[in-house]
Amino acid sequence: MNRRIRNFAICFIAAFMMAAVMPFQILTAFAATAKITFNDPKPAVGTEFTVTVKAATTDGNMGGADIVLSYDPAVIEFVSGNNANGGAGTVRLVGTMDSANTKSFDFSLKFKALQAGETTISVSSSELYDADMQAMTVSHTGNSAVKVQAPSTYSSEASLSSLKISPGTLTPAFSPEVTSYTASVGAEVNKIAVSAERKDSKAKLVVSGDSNLQPGKNQVVCKVTAEDGKTVKIIRSL
């Protein structure tokens, strides 16, 4: 009799332990996971740029998302975004399921670069839910590494460092500040070679009028355009 009771008690305890463990095993097996990823933009100071945030799953469907981002307001400024609002260092993103097969929530955020430097847009909190509005496990939380670059500066130098013609001699002698010269060549000459060197190698030089010369006055023009594209210097030889 005692053996029967002992055996029954052992079986009862074993069955109780299996019943207690099984629900947790089932929950663990069916827990959905998701990832939060970003792009890494490299804007210039004063420009607006886009940061993309993606909350996605591969083993289920998503029902909702509530993500809070943090950033340095001294370096970048939040401008706008879809399903997003914020400012002064934080942005909140809210995603809601629009179909039964929602695999991801995609957010496009516009920021403005305020000063040069490196900064990070990071996740300060996140709540992701599956289609049954059960909490999902976030297996990866990324961030956006933003590198704000100093504005490019372009030279306005549009002068020549030397100017010669062949055949012939320029009058007056070449000077970077002089933009008009005269020269005389024989009547049989219908083309001259212009040798010009730019002070700034990034400036563009175009020479015209150096061929098909006619008896009398001819105009040879050296047009120098600075790297900034705005500064132009015209040098003429008659």
Cβ distance 79 to 48 under 8 Å?
yes
Closest CA to 232 of 171, 179, 165, 183: 179
Cβ distance 119 to 148 under 8 Å?
yes
* pLDDT at 5 (0 to 100): 47
* pLDDT at 230 (0 to 100): 76
* pLDDT at 238 (0 to 100): 66
* pLDDT at 173 (0 to 100): 94
What domains, with CATH codes, occur in the chain? 32-148 (2.60.40.680), 160-237 (no CATH)
* pLDDT at 16 (0 to 100): 44
Say how many C-beta atoms besides its own lie within 10 A of residue 83's C-beta.
Answer: 15
* pLDDT at 30 (0 to 100): 56
Q: Give Cβ neighbours of residue 165 (< 8 Å, ≥ 6 apart).
A: 183, 192, 193, 194, 195, 220, 237
pLDDT along the chain (238 residues), means of 10: 48 46 48 93 96 94 96 97 96 91 95 95 96 93 96 88 94 94 91 94 93 92 89 80
